[in-house]
């Protein structure tokens, strides 16, 4: 794992590890939250380099990553990617992340037993999609639950792979099953959709990711199937931005053209492409606290979760610091919610497998300083 240097704002947050929560797949059952299910992988107590883990996997029966957590009707629902075994080697396109369906996790509160739902949506049931059901998100409006998801379409680029588009599926149950719309959202591209609903009810989608997420192939507003596999490789110019767009009232289409969610440095200038500890890579997530919009994201190859703050859901957002230091494993993707009077960070690592493509969702408390800045979390203990 390539790890960047820690920023000067990093402050370790000391928390007791949460209990390991294991579960049953049907709605009415949950196993003892201290005991691994039969056939589940053994949970290592220490990382390969000897460090302890701040928190433990929420479930061990399946591999899960990219957790999008929400509170619906007082309960916590987590919409993760569902990692699967594959012999595809690691590459910059993310081919090793071969996920093809979604399973939803549910718990009454953090630390309670976790229920794993049945298959909520499979790529074979999405008419326009070909493969790779990557990080999803969810929303609720007017009695309907919405599942937003990226997948490759059936086109072919220079690598023989489809272009990423974003789809939407609906259900009357937060755990599914969900029925996908027959076409992707018009004008959508790239990956990692995350939907934020503001106080006035307006809904915004944040999305995008470089490298395998293909955002760099849209730099001129039109998809280039022969474009770069990584980024623009222009270190002295503004970094590529994640995208933000207002959704229509039914949450099924874009209400406007997507625009850049620009991240500024302390001097008010856009963060540069060569600033890998601060620039956007993937995994947008936005929340609001005390009238401020917190735009959070992953730095990818330096493995941080960062945050920037703005006064509008569109940004620009001023960089503030790291939320989470590098975990075990290459990817870092997260979500943040408020529940039971506390703020919680959901993330994932490779504690169970020590393989980049087989991850496990975790959760730990998020703490704010009086000025609204976030205390940096170290995912390891001594």
CB 31 within 8 A of CB 20: no
The answer, yes or no, to whether the previous bond of 375 is cis (omega within 30 of 0) is: no
Per DSSP, the residues of 91-111 read -TT-TT----EEEEEEESSTT
Q: Which of 83, 153, 231, 282 is catalytic?
A: 282
251 conformational bin, left if phi > 0, alpha if psi -120 to 50, beta if neither: left
Sheet with strand 194-197: strands edge to edge: 194-197, 203-207, 242-246, 259-261
Sheet with strand 342-349: strands edge to edge: 335-339, 342-349, 360-366
Q: Sign of the CA dihedral 314, 317, 323, 328? A: positive
Question: Coil, helix or strand for 301?
Answer: helix
Nearest to 22 by CA among 38, 6, 5, 35: 35
Q: How far, in Å, CA of 102 to CA of 26, rounded?
A: 15
Q: Known catalytic residue: 282?
A: yes
Q: Which of 61, 66, 137, 378 is catalytic?
A: 66
* Catalytic residue list: 66, 282
């Amino acid at each position: 794992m390539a790890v960047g240097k820690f920023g000067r704002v990093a402050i370790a947050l000391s928390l007791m590890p949460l209990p390991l929560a294991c579960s049953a797949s049907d709605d009415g059952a949950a196993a003892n939250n201290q005991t691994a299910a039969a056939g589940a992988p053994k949970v290592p107590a220490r990382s390969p380099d000897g460090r302890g883990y701040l928190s433990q996997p929420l479930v061990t029966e399946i591999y899960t990553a990219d957790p999008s957590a929400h509170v619906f009707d007082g309960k916590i629902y987590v919409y993760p990617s569902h990692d699967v075994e594959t012999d595809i080697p690691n590459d910059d396109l993310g081919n090793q992340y071969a996920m093809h369906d979604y399973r939803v996790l549910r718990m009454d509160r953090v630390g309670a037993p976790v229920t794993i739902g049945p298959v909520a949506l499979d790529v074979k049931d999405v008419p326009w999609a070909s493969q790779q059901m990557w990080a999803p998100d969810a929303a609720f409006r007017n009695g309907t639950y919405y599942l937003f998801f990226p997948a490759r379409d059936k086109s072919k680029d220079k690598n023989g792979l489809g272009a990423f588009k974003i789809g939407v599926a609906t259900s009357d149950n937060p755990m599914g099953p969900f029925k996908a719309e027959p076409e992707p959202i018009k004008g959508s591209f790239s990956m990692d959709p995350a939907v934020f609903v503001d106080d006035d009810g307006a809904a915004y989608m944040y999305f995008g990711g470089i490298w395998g997420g293909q955002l760099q192939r849209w730099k001129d507003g039109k998809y280039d199937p022969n474009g770069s596999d990584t980024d623009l490789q222009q270190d002295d110019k503004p970094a590529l931005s994640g995208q933000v767009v207002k959704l229509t009232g039914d949450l099924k289409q874009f209400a406007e053209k997507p625009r850049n969610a620009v991240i500024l440095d302390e001097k008010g200038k856009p963060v540069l492409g060569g600033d890998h500890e601060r620039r956007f890579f993937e995994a947008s997530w936005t929340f609001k606290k005390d009238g401020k919009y917190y735009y959070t994201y992953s730095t990818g190859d330096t493995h941080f979760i960062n945050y920037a703050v703005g006064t509008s859901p569109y940004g620009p957002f001023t960089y503030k610091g790291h939320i989470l230091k590098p975990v075990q494993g290459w990817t870092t993707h997260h979500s943040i919610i408020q529940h039971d009077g506390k703020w919680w960070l959901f993330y994932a690592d490779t504690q169970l497998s020590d393989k980049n493509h087989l991850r496990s969702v975790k959760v730990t408390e998020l703490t704010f300083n009086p000025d609204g800045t976030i205390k940096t979390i170290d995912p390891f203990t001594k």
